[in-house]
Structure 1
Amino acid sequence: MTEHWPHPINPSSIPTSTLARADELVRKTAFLAGLVAPKTAACLSELLIVANAHYSSEIDGNSSEPEMLEREFVLEHHQSAFGGIPELRRRIVTVLCQHHQVLHGRTQRAGIGAFARALTFEHFALLGLHPHLWSLSRGLGRRLEEYQSATGMNDPMQTDGLEGAQKLIGGGQLAFIDFMLDVCHEEVDYVTTALNRRRLRESITHAYRTNSQLKEAGITPETMPAFLALLIQGALPRSEFVTFTGLPRKAANDQLNRLLSLGIVVSTPSNHQRLEVGLPVWFAQDLLPDFHLA
C-alpha cells in the first residue's frame, strides 16, 4: 500500500513525562545496538522477521503476509511528515500519533493494522531506534486487549482529515502514546536483558546441559567459552576459536566440525579461516525462551 496519508497532528501539549520516556527509548535502543555484535544482530533480525509475522497474525486474527512498504514511499513520507520537527523525542511521539491516526482512518480495510505497524517500524528505523533488534509486534500481541482498547480497533471512528484528527487527539491519543511507549520499553528491556553477558552465559550454560540436539551431536562443555566469545563478538578467526576451547588441536577441530554441522557456528565460503555465529531457531529459543521464533 502506498497511498498518501494525512500528516499526523500532535496534541497541543505533550506531558514532560511522555517526552522523557521518548528520550529514554533513544538511549535504551542505542545501548542495545551497542551490546550486540553486527553478525549476531543480523541473525537476531532474521529471527525477529519470523516472530513478527507470528505476532502480527495474532493481532490481526489472520495469517496474512507482513505488510511490505516501498522504500521510496517511506522516505518521502518520513521527510514530509517529520522533516520539520527538530527534536527526536517529538518525532517519536509523532510516529505514535500517526499509528493511532492510521487505525482510525476513513479507509478501513483488511491489513490496516499490519500497515500501521510496518509504517511505525520503518519510521523507527529511520529515527535510529533499531527496531530490527526488538519486536513491537510481540509487545502488542502480549498486550492485545490493551492495544485494542487504546486504539478502539473494534469500533473505528472512521474519520479523516484535519477535523477527524483533532477529534482523535481528544479521544485518548495521549493515553495511546504512553501505552505504546510502555510497550516499546518493555520489549527493548527484554532483549537487552536476554543478551547481556551475564544472562548469555547463564543461557548457554543451561543449553549445554539440557539441549537435546547439542547432546546428540556430542558437543562437550569445553567448547562453551569459545562459543560464548563467538556469540558476543559475532565473528572470530578459526585459530582463536580453537584456542578458546582449551582442547588439543585435533579434539578442538573435531568439536568445531560438530558445531558447524549444527549451524550454530558458520564458516563463510569466501573465508574458511573466519567463523561467524549462527542462531538456528532450535538454539535461539534457549536465548529468547519467551519468543515465538518458529
Structure 2
Amino acid sequence: MSELLKITNAHYSSLIDGNPSEPESLEREFVLEHHQSSFGDVPEHRRRIVAILCQHYQRLHRRTSRNGIGAFARALTFEHFALLGLHPHLWSLSRGLGRRLDEYQSVTSMNDPMKTDGLEGAQKIIGRKQLAFIDLMLDVCHEEVDYMTAALNRRRLRESVTRAYKTNSRLKDSGIRPETMPALLALLIQGALPRSEFVTFTGLPPEAASDQLSKLIRIGVVVSPPSNLHGLEIGLPVWFAEEIFPGVQ
C-alpha cells in the first residue's frame, strides 16, 4: 500500500503543482537532523504538528523558485509526521489536497498575488492565511485517515473482496474460483500466511488449491517471496487495489 501511494502522490503532486512530479525521496539522516533542529524544543505532539504545518506554509512562501518546492514541502511534512508516529505512509496528503485543490491554492495564495498596504497589513493577512492553511491541512489529514480506517475495516474488506470476485473481469478471465475468496481475504487481513494455511482456507483438494494459488500468483494478487518459499504475502497490483480501495487513485 505504501508503494502504491507513492505513485499516487506523484500523480496528485502533478495536479497540485501543475507540472510533472517524481516521488520525493528524502535522506533519513537529513529528516532526523531537520526535525531535531526545528522541533526538538517543542514538547507536545500537537504543538509539533502545528509547527510542522507552519513551516510547510512558510516554505511555500520563501522568495525562491516555486518549481518543485510544493512536492518537497509535502514530502518533508510527511516524514516529520512519521517521526511523530502518525504513520502517514498509509494515507496520502497529496491525494486529499488534490481533491480540494481550489481551497489549497486559495490558502497558499497560489491563485492571486498577495496585495497589502504596508508591513502591518501584510503580517495580518499572512497570519489569517496561515491559520486557514493549518485548518485545511488538518482537515485533509483527518479525511484521509478516516478513509483508510474505513477501507481497512474487516467488514469493509470482506465486502470489497466479495464484490471483486463477483464483478472483476480479470479474476474471472484468469479462472479464479470463488472458493479461494476466504483464503485471499485471510491473507489480505494478515498480510502473510504459510502456504499450507492458505491451501486449507480454500477448502479445495490439494491439487486444485495449488492450481488456484498459481493463478493468483500469476496475476500478482498473491506474492511468493524468494526469501520464504513456504510463505505467501498479499500483492496489490493497481487494478486490484482499485477494487479493494475504491478512490485510492
Structure 1 length-normalised TM: 0.79
Question: What is the CA-CA distance between 1:55 and the residue it aligns to?
Answer: 0.4
Measured in 2, the distance between the counterparts of 1:45 and 1:125 equals 13
Runs of 4+ in 1 over 6 A off after TM superposition: none
Does the residue aligned with 1:276 lie in a helix, a strand or coil?
strand
Among 203, 226, 246, the residue aligned to 2:183: 226
Structure 1 regions of 5+ residues with no counterpart?
1-43
Aligned length: 245
What does residue 192 of structure 1 align with?
149
Deviation string, structure 1 residues 74-94 (Cα, Å, up to 9, x no partner) = 221110110000001110111
Does the residue aligned with 1:74 lie in a helix, a strand or coil?
helix
Deviation string, structure 1 residues 98-138 (Cα, Å, up to 9, x no partner) = 11111111223311111211111111111111111000000
Counting only pairs closer than 5 Å after superposition, residues 152-163 of structure 1 correspond to structure 2 as: 152-155=109-112
| Aligned residue type for 2:30 | F
Measured in 2, the distance between the counterparts of 1:279 and 1:226 equals 15
Distance 1:156 1:103, change over 3 A: farther
After TM superposition, the structure 1 stretch with the greater mean CA deviation from structure 2, 77-86 or 104-113, is 104-113
Contact 2:7/2:23, CA 8 A, preserved across alignment: no
Question: What is the CA-CA distance between 1:151 and the residue it aligns to?
Answer: 1.2
Contact 1:103/1:156, CA 8 A, preserved across alignment: no
After TM superposition, the structure 1 stretch with the greater mean CA deviation from structure 2, 44-53 or 110-119, is 110-119
Question: What is the CA-CA distance between 1:154 and the residue it aligns to?
Answer: 2.8
Measured in 2, the distance between the counterparts of 1:272 and 1:75 equals 36
Contact 1:136/1:184, CA 8 A, preserved across alignment: yes
1:127 aligns with 2:84: yes
Counting only pairs closer than 5 Å after superposition, residues 1-294 of structure 1 correspond to structure 2 as: 44-155=1-112, 170-292=127-249
Measured in 2, the distance between the counterparts of 1:107 and 1:260 equals 49
Contact 2:92/2:144, CA 8 A, preserved across alignment: yes
Structure 2 length-normalised TM: 0.93
Distance 1:156 1:121, change over 3 A: farther
Structure 2 regions of 5+ residues with no counterpart?
none
Question: What is the CA-CA distance between 1:157 and the residue it aligns to?
Answer: 5.2
Measured in 2, the distance between the counterparts of 1:119 and 1:264 equals 32
| Aligned residue type for 1:235 | A
| Aligned residue type for 1:121 | F
Measured in 2, the distance between the counterparts of 1:97 and 1:156 equals 20
Name the structure, 1 or 2, with higher relative contact order (CA <8 Å, separation 6+).
1
Contact 1:52/1:137, CA 8 A, preserved across alignment: yes
Measured in 1, the distance between the counterparts of 2:223 and 2:9 equals 25
Measured in 2, the distance between the counterparts of 1:222 and 1:87 equals 50
